[in-house]
Structure 1
């Protein structure tokens, strides 16, 4: 199989072909300029090709070499980039990335994902992909990891036989288009799987409270289960009972003090009344004595 894509980062419009004739060998890569004419001789007849000559080459490869050529489709993947010639935004079918230390371009095609065009030029058929994963996300970039199914390797890999391939330093602005491509292609994305999630944070000590004893008492109260059996003794708070007894003793002592004070007051009143009665008797006796003395004087006269 083979691919034909617009050549990335070129001022002059051109197209790059990559032919994967054998999965164990390097890809055959060549470039076709869109500008200029080329002469093609077929069955003794010469033909001059001008613009869009890449389309004619695709037909020749399919007809005479039985090589099916895959080309980009806008409905499959499209990204907004800046034209190197005009400096204006343009529609493109690739994103810039790195494979380890080698920079290159990732093309998201209907039949698979292409990385080129520095060795190794690799093609990952959709049928060979087990999963994808978005990792190492920063404010500006992220990484895309491709995991191959057991027994599968990338086409054009040669000696490159790794089952997991990571492409790094992809711009954040490309995420939406890549995520849409993964979903449209029904590729298993494990970026948000349960095993990849961060563990739940442990509660801080301040959230547990400052006094561990209080927490233990609360837990014990929550675990308490009242019994419905009659022979079980009633549970009561001994500390509360001691406080009630203390209050009762204090009240009894207070009442006794009041009664004692009241009795003392009554005794004092009784003594005063007795003293008053004795004073009245003394006065009466003095008056009787005075009367007797007067009577004796009158008799003497």
Structure 2
């Protein structure tokens, strides 16, 4: 990123905006670097302007180019508002196709606001999701093209069925100012499984008779995102379901795992595109392509931790280790199956992790004769089939068994034992001769 700093370092604000844009569009990183190098060469006089190296156009072409230049200048000049809405058409944004007022939001603010889907029906992919609250003046828009993922997740531990819609975006716009609203690039709102009585919808978006707020919103939002190859993602048992039964909903699968991230409690969801941490700010999404490895730490009898290591940042090259603690051991098998199914690297025993794990002694050697090669080979095969966490748990259990076998009855027992040994030693002279005679008798029998 040195090239960007060299080219634009004189304008700190512009440099920061370029770096932020580069992070959002990592596949275009080389383009940003090339532009920076070009600007550096141009400003230093090493590269001549393009118009100086091309033949002079004739009069007609000059007139056309001048006209185009003036038009381009007018378009490029910053507008007083909506200076970030180049991806949005004003007419599309005001054409509301689906609206649900009085929706309970948790992120970015705890308010009842209106969620809207706005677009031209012929160009749904060019529209936006809007969040509006007239009383406070909130007027946000997330272009469908800027939505990274949308999830619909069941709200845990609620007797009444409710679902949270979770939006991860890489650009949210404040339609009042035209500025980017970075604090609203994660959005969470809650909807009940009840009839959508106050939904306002255009033709083609009306709820069906069997619909709920959840199903009608899912269908409408998926239709708007279809042009970008995306849809609303929900959990399913084929991916992951918790082994812990729900006391308030007997017979129903739970899809969350309770955990802590630092001092904050929350829920992990293991989904078809990655892992979601919700529902408190800041939320987190770990897509498969951004996960380098998943490792396990602090393996105890009832709980364990997982550490998600992210892929190196394309700008800084840094990796992040995000630890989630206090996961219930009952969910280990399901999580481990999920990790293996998606070829996520189980790096539990990596050298840089060992300092954080329990001090588990190596497995005790099994008692076997030199000729018992079959049993040894079978044990090695079993070890190969076990995951690193299972091996750690087995080692921990073996250690506990050893401690029970080595139990010391106490100092009183030691004193009594030493006295018995002394008595045996005193009588050793009398009994020694008899023992020798018995040995001699056995020797005589052998000779015979």
Q: TM-score range by the shorter chain?
A: 0.5 to 0.7
Q: Aligned equivalents of 1:68 and 1:134: distance in 2?
A: 32
Residue 89 of structure 1, CA deviation: 5.4
When residues 44 and 191 of structure 1 are mapped into structure 2, their CA distance, relative to the original with a 3 A threshold, is closer
Q: Which runs of 4+ in 1 moved over 6 A?
A: 198-201
Q: Aligned equivalents of 1:56 and 1:117: distance in 2?
A: 22
1:11 pairs with 2:168: no
When residues 47 and 171 of structure 1 are mapped into structure 2, their CA distance, relative to the original with a 3 A threshold, is closer
Q: Aligned equivalents of 2:161 and 2:273: distance in 1?
A: 24
Equivalent position to 2:201, from 37, 41, 62: 41
1:296 match: none
SS at match of 1:37: coil
When residues 190 and 58 of structure 1 are mapped into structure 2, their CA distance, relative to the original with a 3 A threshold, is same
SS at match of 2:258: strand
Cα deviations by residue, 1:126-154 (Å, 9 ceiling, x for unpaired): 1100001010011111001000001179x
Cα deviations by residue, 1:206-228 (Å, 9 ceiling, x for unpaired): xxxxxxxxxxxxxxxxxxxxxxx
SS at match of 2:169: coil
Cα deviations by residue, 1:175-197 (Å, 9 ceiling, x for unpaired): 10000000001001101346656
Residue 45 of structure 1, CA deviation: 8.0
Bigger relative contact order, structure 1 or 2, given CA contacts below 8 A and separation 6+?
1
Q: Is the 8 A contact 2:278 2:284 kept in 1?
A: yes
Q: Is the 8 A contact 1:141 1:169 kept in 2?
A: yes
Equivalent position to 2:170, from 22, 37, 61: 22
Q: Is the 8 A contact 1:2 1:69 kept in 2?
A: yes
Larger-Rg structure: 1
SS at match of 1:79: coil
Q: Which TM-score applies when normalising by structure 1?
A: 0.57
Q: Is the 8 A contact 1:32 1:54 kept in 2?
A: yes
Equivalent position to 2:305, from 143, 151, 154: 143
List gaps (5 residues or longer) in structure 2.
Answer: 1-148, 172-181, 363-448
Q: Is the 8 A contact 1:135 1:144 kept in 2?
A: yes
SS at match of 2:343: coil
Residue 68 of structure 1, CA deviation: 2.6
Equivalent position to 1:119, from 281, 285, 305: 281
Equivalent position to 2:224, from 47, 64, 86: 64
Match runs of 1:60-99 below 5 Å: 60-65=220-225, 66=228, 68-86=231-249, 88=250, 90-99=252-261
Match runs of 1:139-178 below 5 Å: 139-151=301-313, 163-178=320-335
List gaps (5 residues or longer) in structure 1.
Answer: 154-160, 202-301
Q: Is the 8 A contact 2:311 2:319 kept in 1?
A: no
**Alignment RMSD, CA only?**
2.9
Q: Aligned equivalents of 1:50 and 1:30: distance in 2?
A: 22
For this pair of structures, how many residues does the alignment match? 193
Q: Which TM-score applies when normalising by structure 2?
A: 0.39
Q: Is the 8 A contact 2:301 2:329 kept in 1?
A: yes
Q: Is the 8 A contact 2:195 2:213 kept in 1?
A: no
Q: Aligned equivalents of 1:11 and 1:50: distance in 2?
A: 22
When residues 85 and 179 of structure 1 are mapped into structure 2, their CA distance, relative to the original with a 3 A threshold, is same
When residues 119 and 45 of structure 1 are mapped into structure 2, their CA distance, relative to the original with a 3 A threshold, is closer
Residue 6 of structure 1, CA deviation: 1.1
SS at match of 2:158: coil
When residues 3 and 150 of structure 1 are mapped into structure 2, their CA distance, relative to the original with a 3 A threshold, is same
Match runs of 1:276-295 below 5 Å: none
2:340 match: 183
Q: Aligned equivalents of 1:44 and 1:62: distance in 2?
A: 13
Q: Is the 8 A contact 1:137 1:143 kept in 2?
A: yes
Q: Is the 8 A contact 2:244 2:331 kept in 1?
A: no
